[in-house]
Structure 1
Amino acid sequence: MKYVAYHRTSTKDQHLDRGIAEINKFCSDSGISLYKDKVYTDQQTGKNFNRPRYSMLKDEILESGDVLIITELDRLGRNKEATLKELRLFNDNHIRVMVLELPTTLLDLSTMENTMARMMLETINNMMIELYTSMAQAEIEKKEKRQREGIEAKKARGEWDDYGRPRVMSLEEFATHYRLVQQGEKRPFELMRELEMSKPTFYRYKNQIEKGC
């Protein structure tokens, strides 16, 4: 039997240190020796499971009878159905998953002689896992909704261009520069080059200003 640890953050800007330290402390306090004395990590979205280290763990390291340790369920994945499918796959292959945020998963139910107590704890585990995966997915859906609303609000204010990128500058700032073209002091291509604007972006600003005149 091997104890294998895994931790994930969504982006490279997020630090892995806290999760790694939490796993190492738990193992030290519990007298657990990790496989290879390390925590396997990915810094990639949790929307799917196509991650290098996670795939390696599943395909090359984890075997029947092993234990996978994670800090939180959403470090495994953020999609509810996909995460539950992964957990069922582990269970079918007799790989135990210990989730540090769910204390009941830290109990080795296979050693319990009281069948009724074991069944009750298994039911509690399943209910808690269902609840936590639902919460993780609800959180990411709420975040995505806020992002969409933010983009729509920027578009409504004219602060987002047709390509979905933030404006290079405000219309007011562009209008100040564009007056030199209107007054004949500069030609359009000269201002484009000075402002480092592409031709489509330049004329998009120009058209919006002239519509407002």
Structure 2
Amino acid sequence: MKFVAYYRVSTKRQNLGLDAQRNTVLNYIDSVGGKLINTYEEKESGKCNNRIELAKAIDYCKVNNATLVIAKLDRLSRNVSFIFALKEANIKFYCCDIPELSTLTLGIFATIAQSERETISSRTKAALQAKKDRGIKLGAPNATISNDMRIKSAEALKRKADNNTNNKRAYTVISSLIERNMTLQYIASYLNQNDFRTSKNCLFTPIAVSRLIRRYKK
């Protein structure tokens, strides 16, 4: 049986989390006598469903008739609709923490995963508000940011975006499609289908296309 492993952590500092996921997945594949044919890993929040590496893993599974294996369901996503979209797309996947996974249990555990995400978010907001109520200044209390510093920071960010290779490549195509009176939705779909990505390596949306047009249009 062929497997494709997908690992995800929320931040770049969670390397121990990646190691734990790898051990869990590899132990499972060994236990069933399977073969790991590819691996994808991502550092992205569970709230974000626009994950390039996961999309690659899914496509690879389809082409090679392989099973996507993950250590825990919440590594795939904490969004119920996203998990069901994968299920409806006939993607074979196995969660090591839910061996008895079925259509019924998928719904139950996906709902729990999303609830956990919402609970974590609520607790974080409540903790920050409690600190503010006690008069604790959040962030860097001794930092002083002048208007000049803000202006220079904004200018630096703009230069970085203007010179971004992904942005420049995409705008070359966008300008050509604009001349043909194509819609923003058509342009976004065309860019995504031809492996163009935004400056942050995400898929294009009509809004992202509109921003690039405003950025480079003279």
Q: TM-score of the superposition, structure 2-length normalised?
A: 0.59
Distance 2:108 2:78 in 1: 13
CA shift for structure 1 position 155: 2.1
SS at structure 2 position matched to 1:7:
strand
Cα distance in structure 2, aligned partners of 1:80 and 1:29: 29
* Contact residue 49 and residue 55 of structure 1 kept, 8 A: no
User: Aligned-pair distance for 1:86?
Assistant: 2.0
CA offsets per residue over residues 30-60 of structure 1, 9 Å max, x none?
Answer: 1111114xx321121111222232122234x
Tell me which of 108, 122, 128 is aligned to 2:105. Answer: 128
Q: Which residue does the alignment assign to 1:4? A: 4
Give yes or no for the alignment of 1:157 onto 2:159: no
**RMSD of aligned Cα (Å):** 2.1
Pairwise CA distance, 1:167? 5.0
Q: Mark the structure with the bigger radius of gyration.
A: 1
What's 1:118 paired with? none
CA distance in 1, matches of 2:52, 2:81: 21
Q: Is the 8 A contact 2:2 2:34 kept in 1?
A: no
Q: Write the letter of the residue equivalent to 1:197.
A: T
User: Equivalents in 2 of 1:7, 1:25: separation in Å?
Assistant: 14
TM-score when scaled to structure 1? Answer: 0.61
Separation of aligned partners in 2, 1:35 and 1:198: 51
Q: Give deviations 1:132-177, integer Å, cap 9, x for gaps.
A: 11111111111111111112222222223xxxx42515xxxxxxxx
Q: 1:158 to 1:99 in 2, by over 3 A?
A: same
Residues in 2 aligned to 1:199 and 1:6: alpha-carbon distance in whole angstroms: 44
Percent of pairs with identical residues: 28
Alignment of 1:60-75 (within 5 A): 61-63=60-62, 65-75=65-75
Structure 1 residues 102 and 151: CA distance shift in structure 2, 3 A? same
Match for residue 36 of structure 2 among 13, 34, 37? 34
